[in-house]
Structure formats: structure tokens, C-alpha cells
A and B are shown apart, each in its own frame.
Chain A
Amino acid sequence: MDEKGNVRDAYLQIPELRGFEKFCQGRRAEDMPQITSRICGVCPVAHHTASVKALDDAFGVDPPPTAKKLRELAYCGYMIYDHILHFYFLGGVDFLVSPDAPPSKRNIFGLIEKAGLNIGKEIIKHRAYGQKIVEIIGGKATHPVHGIPGGVSKPLTEEERKEIEKMLKSCLDFARFSVDLFDKFVLKKERYIDMIKSDPYSLKTYNMGLVDDKNRLNFYDGKIRVVDQEGKEVLKFDVRDYQKHIAEHVEEWSYVKFPYLKKMGWKGLKDGKDSGIYRVGPLGRLNASDELATPIANEEFKRMFKELGKPVNSTLAYHWARLIEIIYAAERGLELVNDSEITSKNIRNPVGKPGEGFGAVEAARGVLIHHYKVSEKGLIERANFIVATTSNAGAITMSVRKAAKAMIRNGKIKEGLLNMIEMAFRAYDPCLACASHSLPGGMLLEVDLYDADGKLVKVVRRD
């Protein structure tokens, strides 16, 4: 705080360990998809897939179309279960119940009270469907083992294909139901729309996402595209060039490195055109896309931008974007499962000599990059990872700062400070364990308030 007791700055500290890059050195390259998927229990499919794509590249092999489609299909299942989990159990319920409700109600139990018992069952069922799709294709539920350099290890049978199709159809219905629910409980209420658009919840950063050759979102493959605060494309590059465009800034108060766009440079924790800070994840991706490749999701995409303008700068719109992506994942999955090649047995191409490899995918939380240097013997010499939550680290910190500024005036803390800070960072679905390459753990929320002389004057916490 400054002399008057207003917030000068705020920091989100994540006191966890590092060391995963080092842990990977000297390992056999082909073990990387298994090892990296164990970084944390939240997005193993994303790490597995980014890793195997980096290995394709390192071994100079292009997998057959069916292998790529199977990887993408499994990926759709992952996106469905991960987004459902976040929307209904973690972040989205902030809104569905009521942002003003106490934390004991602002959760799935509050939602069941409000929307009925059946919704709980439906949520659990469809989350499990997403996981089941990964299990069928990946061989194991949480940690898939199908990805190997040059392709996948197992084809899809007709029986499995039918089972996945049935589950995806149900997921699509559920995704549409979820959007209707969001419409009814959130978008139809002017107060919430005002809140979504309000300044404390807005940031004008760059937006980043993986797009296909028509600038449409793709979770599995494509080029990395960056658009500016007006929605204009400023960069589009292959993952092989990521180091030309993305650098990482180190702050002494955090273990997390802050990635930024080299072209604009690191200007501190600031938004706007001069600052290289960008956002990834559902909102970053939709902002970076011109349209979506599937019809129902694209209608909803258009509706969101009509309502909120393009690009959307409101952090709370991450929730809406996440729902649109569940629709997209179900629709895209249905396209793939009905593809005539999907049950083909041609699922692997022979690998070449090892070298350097790069792989990028869209993790549920945003662009994920794996980069390996592989020795002649096929061992990992160097591994580097840019994970989604580190890309968002700058934006998350700024969002927390904005919320703190709005809630702390003249040394007095307004009611609801923790709620507001929590909603601001929850929207990003931060996976902080992975961001600092550490282990998953429980989390408490604590706000420490220091006066102008650096003396700790107040601690507000929730265990």
C-alpha cells in the first residue's frame, strides 16, 4: 500500500519447487510422453500429446493421418472432461450460484440446491465420458500410453468407435444444456453482464492460440497466432520458432517465469500495446481465432463476440469461452469418429535419426510447448517446457492486483475481498503446480497487506 493506504502493487506468490527440466536430462527420449504426463494429475493428456509431437519432430517423422486423428480424438475427450470439471466444480459455479454468495454456497452443492439433484448426476456422467474416451484410445484412463514417435500404438476397433460416438453425442447435448444454463443464470442478468464488463475484471493484453490454415481454433495442431488488443494479427509462427518470439522474464519474488512477446518486450506487469504480456486459454484461443470449424460452436462463438465485442478483454468471459469449447470439442470429436479413416490400421510411420524436436498443443489452460534436444543415442540432453499457466502468470498477477485495488481503499478492506480475488484468478483455471513444475497440493488463500514502510499490517485468509 502507499502512504494513503491504497494498493500500490499486488503479487501472487506461488511458493513451490522447480527442477523438472533437470529430472528429464539423460532419459530415453521415448519415455518422455510417459514421464511428462506425470508432472501433475490435471492435464496428463496435454503433456503426453505435446511430448509425442516433439518426438515426431525430433525423429523427423510425420505420423499417418489416422494416427493424428486418433490423437486429436483422445484430445477432444480430455478437453471435455477438463472443462466440465472446471466449469461445474471449480470456477464457473462462482457465477452460476451467485458471485455474492458465501464460499460455502458458491460451489457445486449450491448449484445442486439451485438447479436440482439431477444436474449433479449429469455432470458426473459426462465428465466420466470424456475420461472414458481417453481411456479407450489411450489405453489408460488418466495417463494415456498410446502416443509413440511416428504415430500411435493401437488402432480403433469398430465397436470402440461406436461407443465413443454415442458418448460424444451425449456430451454435445450436455454442452448445449450447459450454455443454456449459463444463459439463464448469468447472461440474462444485467448485473452479471455489468460485472463481466467491469474494469477490475478487464485486461487489455495480447491473445495467443493455435489455429489451422484458416485461422480457426485447433487443439491438436497448427500455427501459434497472436492478435493484439484490437483483434489484429501481429504474429503467426511455427512452434519451431517459439524462442524467436517468446522470452521468459524472471522476478525475484516468484519461482514462476513470466513469458512475454519479444517483439514488444518486457515492460513490467502492465497491459496495453507496449507490453509483451499475452493471455492463453479458452479466451485467448477464441480471441486469436477468426471463427470455429464446427457449426454449433461457431454460432455460440459469434454470439459471445456480438455481446462483448472482439477481442473480449474481460477475464470472467473465460467461463463462457470454456463452454463454447466443450461444444467445439464434442462436435469436432464427432467429425473425427465418423471419419472413414479413423479405424484404419495404418497408424505408425518409421522414425529417422534423433535430433531437436518441438511440439505444441492447446492444453485446456492454453498453449503448451515441449522442446527437446535428443542425443545420437536417443537420450534427452535438454528439455524445456512453456506451460499454459506460466504464459498466463503475468495476466493472473495483474488481475489479482486490479481486484485488490478495487477492494482496498484508504487502508480499509471491503467485504468480499477474498471472493473477488479468487474469482479473478479462478477464471484462468490456473494449474499452479505445473506452472512451477512442482507437485499438486492443497491450497489456502491468504492476502497479506503491507503498509508503505513494508510492515505487515493485516492478513486475511481462508484455509
Chain B
Amino acid sequence: MKQIVVGVGNPILGDDAVGLEVVRRLKGKINAEIKETMTSGFGLLEEILGYDKAMIVDALVTNDKKEVGKVKKFIIKELDSNSLKTPHALSFLDAIGIAKRSGIKEIPKKIVVVGILVNEIDFKERISEEVKKAIPRAVKVVEGEINGF
């Protein structure tokens, strides 16, 4: 069973970096490869090709400030993303959809997203206190998912 955990985030966009911080704390602690990336779409897809199971840890933006700091887990199932929402970039879900329809076989059988809810993303290099508190919880969610498989 080849497993990978990818932390996604931008180190200069405040709370957006939380995914990177979570995976740094998992290094050497779980039976999975750990990677950090700042890319999405195909760049992110290529990171996980060839693994049986992949976990993506990323910040999720919410408009509801009461939600900030919550940790959510999603399992990506059959995807049929049809709408390309931005004119210049492709979402991760779009990339998986395209790869599947193109017959690419190395896509992991199970893809899990662990999202840490954040509200403000701005040019700065530190994570806010309320989002910091979510890091140990997110670490536990990933550990549980990897060990429980």
C-alpha cells in the first residue's frame, strides 16, 4: 500500500499556509510519504499519481467566521467536473476528471481531502492563533485516516 500526504498552501498568504504546517508535523510519524506543494490542478494531481491512497491537506476559505478553525474531511468520489470556473487555472477536481476520462490509470483509488477552515487570506507569513489551534486536530485526522486504512 503506497500512501502519500500532500500539504497544500502558500507560505506567504497567512492562514493559507496551514496545510504545509500540518504535514510538517507528520514527518516521520506515519507510514506515508509526505510532500509540500503550492500548486493545484495538474501540478497537484501529478504529485499523487502512482499512489494507492492520497490525502490532501489544505486551507478552505469560509465566509462564516464562526467556522474558522474547524477541520473537515471529504472523500473524493466519482467526479464529473464539467465546468471550468476560472479562465486561467484548472481546479484539482477538473484535473482528476480529465485524467480519468483520458484513461490515466495511476490515479489513487482513494483520495481524501482534509480541510482546515480559514477566513482571511492576506500577504503575511504567520498563521492566525485560531487557525493554529486547529493544527493538532488536523494532524490527528490524518493519522487516523492513514493508520486506520
Contacts and interface: CB of A to CB of B under 8 A. Distances in A.
Interface of A: 17, 19-20, 23, 35, 38, 41-42, 85-86, 89-91, 103-104, 107-109, 112, 117, 119-121, 123-124, 127-128, 131, 141-143, 422, 425-426, 429-432, 439-444, 462-463
Interface stretch (B22-30, B50-58, B101-109): B101-109
A41 B40 contact: yes
Interface in B126-140: none
B4 to A, nearest CB: 15
A121 B104 contact: yes
B84 A442 contact: no
Contact of B87 (A23, A35, A127, A429): A429
Given A38-B12, A85-B42, A439-B13, A425 B103 contact: no
Interface in B22-52: 37-43, 46
Which secondary structure characterizes the binding site on chain B? loop
Given A38-B10, A121-B103, A131-B43, A443 B87 contact: yes
B147 interface: no
B102 A121 contact: yes
A117 B102 CA distance: 5
B99 interface: yes
Interface residues of B, number: 36
A86 to B, nearest CB: 7
A85 B13 CA distance: 25
Nearest to B16: A439
A107 B38 contact: no
B85 A109 contact: no
A124 B42 contact: yes
Interface centre among B39, B103, B122, B123 (most CB of A within 10 A): B123
A117 B87 contact: no
A48 to B, nearest CB: 13
A123 B41 CA distance: 14
B82 A109 contact: yes
B11 interface: yes
Nearest to B8: A41
Interface in B108-149: 121-124
Contacts of A35: 12
A267 to B, nearest CB: 28
Contacts of A85: 41-42, 90
A20 B43 contact: no
A124 B10 contact: no
A119 B89 CA distance: 20
Nearest to B85: A442
Contact of B98 (A41, A109, A430, A440): A109
A128 B42 contact: yes
Given A439-B121, A442-B85, A108 B39 contact: no
B101 A120 contact: yes
Contact of A23 (B42, B98, B123): B123
Contacts of A442: 85-86, 91
B83 interface: yes
Contacts of A426: 87
A429 B88 contact: yes
Contacts of B12: 23, 35, 38
**Closest 7 CB pairs between A and B?**
A120-B102, A23-B123, A443-B86, A142-B39, A426-B87, A121-B102, A104-B82
A85 B94 CA distance: 12
B101 A90 contact: no
